[in-house]
Amino acid sequence: MNGIGGSAGWSWIFLLEGLLTVSVATLLSFCMHDYPENAAFLAQTAKDWLLETRVRDDNAGLSKQFKREFVFQALRDPQAYIHAAIFFFTAIPSLSFPVFLPTIIDGLG
């Protein structure tokens, strides 16, 4: 496909893969359901079971509304900063290594 549409052959790989990904995601967004009570393919007994045993147990004590106090509570939590520091100190070396490794190897001769 080199030269078709004025694009190089390697760029068609990314274009076709991206087109496939976007089309599948668009199609599946119409098939997905937010909650079990909206799923048309489930029987009523299955919906009731899911709501009773799974959803309500998982959401026990959680708020479904945005409250500003939760943001301030998260900002005051030292564990959030520890997790952010761990992510930072692992992500920076692991992301910079493949970027600068060719330059380092080239500098070594």
pLDDT higher than 80, residue 3: no
pLDDT tens, position by position, 31-43 = 887 777 788 888 9
pTM over 0.75, yes/no: no
pLDDT of residue 51: 81
pLDDT higher than 70, residue 49: yes
- 51 C-beta neighbours (distance < 10 Å), count: 14
- What is the b/e burial string over 40-49, where b = at least 16 CB atoms within 10 angstroms of the residue's CB? eeeeeeebee
pLDDT of residue 20: 95
pLDDT higher than 80, residue 90: yes
